[in-house]
Amino acid sequence: MVSINRKVLDLSHHNSVSSWQQVRGAGIVGIIHKATEGATYTDPDYLKRAHDAMNAGLLWGAYHWINAGNIANQVDNFLHFVGVDDETLYALDWEDDPNNGTASKAQAQEFLQRIAEKIGANRCVVYSGNTAKEKLGSNVDSFFGQHRLWLAQYGTSPVPQASWDDYWLWQYSDGNVGPQPHGCPGVSGDVDTNSWPGNDGQLRQEWSGAGVIPAPPTTQSHVDININIAGDVVVTVNGKPV
């Protein structure tokens, strides 16, 4: 049985977030949020949550749920919506799609090749569980193995497909199925939870895959300015006159 170190949440508009500070206070270091799906869909909560979560000192990532449609259009949809920078974690969500068809191995590979041209080689994380195991079989595929694996497996002994020696991140629960802990303060109801095998500093260092370490969260100071229009101006910082 693998010990669980809950450090990352993955969210979409289906989740309700009440407090990013509570999320961070629960020990969460990073958020990976659904950004796009297929060639046209964009998550309506993505942009505001990106702003608010990063302001709370959390690392930020974006994932695209791929389907069997035109891959070039899907990459364009994803990057046009998310943008390209060196601090965001980019992830391909490769799972069964009952509506528009599950992407094939060739289509997943095309997505990774096309996005690499924009964000850099092997930066994009591959999120998958049974889909990768079914599409790749028992073969070792060196192309996929070059990318970090975000493994979805709701058991106590996660096993990656043969192309990977180990996973980079492990989604161990959807908030209902899978081992504890479930849920997270600051988020209502079921939420996908992920275990990180290292320490917080290592997660920050490896997060984007671009070799850029986001600045650590800082403690914000509150400044009050009281103006008495009938007399002197009194300025206080944290309750003390200056």
* Rounded alpha-carbon distances, angstroms, from residue 234 to 56, 141, 189, 221, 225: 30, 68, 46, 18, 7
Neighbours of 118 (CB within 10 A): 14
Query: What sections of 120-159 are H helices per DSSP?
Result: 130-136, 142-145
pLDDT tens for 136-155 read 999 999 999 999 999 999 99
- The neighbouring-strand residues paired with 227 are 233
pLDDT tens for 166-200 read 999 999 999 999 999 999 999 998 999 999 999 99
Q: Specify the DSSP class assigned to residue 73.
A: H
Rounded Cα–Cα distance for residues 102 and 105 (Å): 10
- For residue 221, is pLDDT > 70? no
Rounded Cα–Cα distance for residues 59 and 8 (Å): 9
Instruction: Considering the domain delimited by 6-241, tell me its CATH architecture.
Output: Alpha-Beta Barrel (3.20)
- For residue 119, is pLDDT > 70? yes
Rounded Cα–Cα distance for residues 87 and 175 (Å): 27
Rounded Cα–Cα distance for residues 169 and 184 (Å): 18
Model pTM?
Answer: 0.88
Q: What's the confidence (pLDDT) of residue 212?
A: 81
3-class secondary-structure state, position 112: helix
- The neighbouring-strand residues paired with 17 are 187
pLDDT tens for 48-86 read 999 999 999 999 999 999 999 999 999 999 999 999 999
Q: What's the confidence (pLDDT) of residue 214?
A: 76
3-class secondary-structure state, position 214: coil
